[in-house]
Structure formats: structure tokens, C-alpha cells
């Protein structure tokens, strides 16, 4: 099961109810933070989560509202004796910006970070899941990310037993969806298994509408997407390279996504956020508005 915790959901200026953007994706022993707005480490505490368990940080881009929480978080991790190397991924320029942050303060301790500048495509993979990046169209280099769980395969044991195959370690291959050999006979995975598709979660932060918004969201179970403006301010959205609620809903719809969660909500809509939700729902019914500390299981 994949769990999402929304630690911050505001646009550049935080409000009383919304902290700057940060989302935690937890899956098994993986805890992946997407963006790290100011105050994120305190949001962890309020949410009852332990930041020391972080394994990766994915930065969409280097605007303050997405990274101002990094120095404080890294300092706290160091003081807590964070023992592993923390993998930090981000677009072109990430190494330079991170070095600048780490040289700006006197850190009593520094944690070891492995910084990865990425462009697009698959940039991490293990036996359970992979991570993909897509280029966005913002005023600075910006990436969207997808977390994609690999499919699992349900083995039809009853059918296999009829072929004379018993339970045992030799089932490993067929459990991974590969053909297996048993007593010199090839047992076809296709015939004896049914795939259970993995979950896909896509994060689209600051960007103007572009084809990669649809590409990144293809068949996603959840799209977490920015809805910075209403369509009536499309002029401003275009000028500042942000999405309107209608545009992110259009991307989710075109991509065949199942669910859309809106965030990066501007203070201009404080108290009338329903307008943002209603606009998205007109195009994509299964839209929801993120709130700080909201949790979702997929």
C-alpha cells in the first residue's frame, strides 16, 4: 500500500491553514518527500511522522516555496544523526543550489547527501517500483514526477497443481510474471498467472499546460497537481507559467487518470477554495482539494 501525506498545499505565500508545498509518499521502508517548502520539518512533527525515516527527496524546481524547508530539515536530520546518505533528485542546477544552501550556514554536523541532477525518463528503479521524471514548462527548469509500482502476479496454484507443480521456492520466477522451468517443462507465466497492476502516482507542480502534463499522468491512479489560478485568470497563469484548475483537470481527463488532487492553492482563493474545486470538477469529476495533513492510501 502506498500512502500520501500532504504536508503543505499552498502557493508561494503560506496561509494560516496551508503551509508551502511538500508531500510525503510512503511505501514499505521508502519515504520519499516531494518538494520541501518552508516549515516542512515542523509539519512532519505535527503529522506525527519521523523525518529521520526519509530515504529520498525529489525537488520539482528551485523556487523558494518548494525548497525553503531544506536547510532546516537537513540540519535537524544531521542533529538526529541521520546515518545514511540522503538521495536528493532535482532538475538541472540542483547541485549548485544545494551547495549554496549548505554553505550558507554554520552546520554543526552535516549529513551526507547524494545529489542527482536529472533530465527526464526513468531515474530510479528497484524490484518494487520505479521513478520517472518529465520536463515541465515553468520559468525555471522544472520536473514532474511519477512513482510507479511494478505489477505483481497472482499465481493460479490449483491450475499449476494439475500440471504436477507443487508450492516451493521454484515458484519465484512465475510469481514475478516470468516463464519457469519445472522438470524440463516450460510453464508459461501467461497461462498460469494473472497480473495485478501496480499503482501510479504523478506529481505535477509549477508549469504552464504542456503535453507532458498528459504524458506524465497517463493512466495514473492519482494525479497530484497544481491549481494555481482559476481559468478567469488564464492570462496571469500563462504569464507566470502556472496551471489553472481547468487545465490540470483537462490533463487528468485526457490521460485517463482515476483521481485528481489539487494543491498549490493561491492565497487569493482563501475562503473560496471551492471555486477551484468546482472548476476542476466541471472537466474532471473525480477531483478533490488537498488540505494540509490530509492522508490518502492507494
User: Nearer Cβ to Zn ion, position 65 or 273?
Assistant: 65
User: Nearer Cβ to Zn ion, position 65 or 215?
Assistant: 65
Query: Residue 194, Cβ neighbours under 10 Å: how many?
Result: 10
CB of 122 to Zn ion, least distance (A): 24
Beta-strand ranges (E) seen in 170-289 are 180-182, 185-187, 193-196, 200-204, 222-226, 260-263, 287-289
CA dihedral 180, 186, 189, 190 (to 10 degrees): 170
Place of cell 504436477: 164
The answer to whether 20 touches 39, Cβ cutoff 8 Å, is yes
Q: Among 65, 87, 137, 206, which one carries the catalytic annotation?
A: 65
User: Nearer Cβ to Zn ion, position 149 or 266?
Assistant: 266
Rg (CA), the chain: 21
Place of cell 552535516: 110
β-bridge partners, 297: 3
Residues near Zn ion, by CB under 5 A: 63, 65, 206
CB of 37 to Zn ion, least distance (A): 8
292 as an active site residue: the answer is no
CB of 12 to Zn ion, least distance (A): 5
User: Nearer Cβ to Zn ion, position 56 or 61?
Assistant: 61
CB of 139 to Zn ion, least distance (A): 7
Q: Catalytic site residues?
A: 65
Amino acid at each position: 500500500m502506498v500512502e500520501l501525506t500532504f504536508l503543505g498545499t499552498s502557493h508561494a505565500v503560506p496561509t494560516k491553514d496551508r503551509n508551502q508545498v511538500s508531500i510525503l509518499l510512503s511505501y514499505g521502508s521508502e519515504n520519499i518527500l516531494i518538494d520541501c517548502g518552508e516549515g516542512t520539518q515542523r509539519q512532519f512533527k505535527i503529522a506525527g511522522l519521523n523525518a529521520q525515516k526519509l530515504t529520498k527527496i525529489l525537488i520539482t524546481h528551485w523556487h523558494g516555496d518548494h525548497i525553503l524547508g531544506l536547510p532546516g530539515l537537513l540540519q535537524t536530520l544531521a542533529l538526529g544523526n541521520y546515518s545514511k546518505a540522503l538521495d536528493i533528485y532535482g532538475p538541472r542546477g540542483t547541485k549548485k543550489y544545494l551547495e549554496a544552501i549548505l554553505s550558507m550556514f554554520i552546520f554543526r554536523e552535516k549529513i551526507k547527501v547524494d545529489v542527482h541532477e536529472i533530465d527526464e525518463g526513468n531515474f530510479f528503479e528497484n524490484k518494487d517500483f520505479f521513478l520517472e521524471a518529465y520536463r515541465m514548462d515553468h520559468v525555471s527548469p522544472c520536473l514532474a514526477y511519477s512513482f510507479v509500482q511494478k505489477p505483481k502476479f497472482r499465481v493460479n496454484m490449483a491450475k499449476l497443481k494439475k500440471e504436477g507443480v507443487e508450492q516451493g521456492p521454484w515458484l519465484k520466477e512465475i510469481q514475478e510474471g516470468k516463464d519457469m522451468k519445472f522438470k524440463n517443462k516450460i510453464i508459461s507465466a501467461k497461462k498460469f498467472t494473472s497480473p495485478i497492476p501496480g499503482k501510479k502516482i504523478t506529481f505535477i507542480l509549477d508549469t504552464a499546460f504542456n503535453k507532458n502534463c498528459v504524458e506524465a499522468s497517463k493512466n495514473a491512479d492519482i494525479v497530484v497537481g497544481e491549481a494555481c489560478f482559476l481559468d478567469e485568470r488564464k492570462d496571469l497563469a500563462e504569464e507566470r507559467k502556472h496551471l489553472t484548475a481547468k487545465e490540470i483537470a483537462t490533463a487528468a481527463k485526457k490521460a485517463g487518470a482515476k483521481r485528481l488532487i489539487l494543491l498549490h492553492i493561491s492565497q487569493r482563493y482563501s475562503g473560496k477554495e471551492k471555486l477551484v474545486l468546482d472548476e476542476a470538477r466541471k472537466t474532471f469529476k473525480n477531483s478533490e482539494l488537498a488540505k494540509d495533513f490530509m492522508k490518502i492510501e492507494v
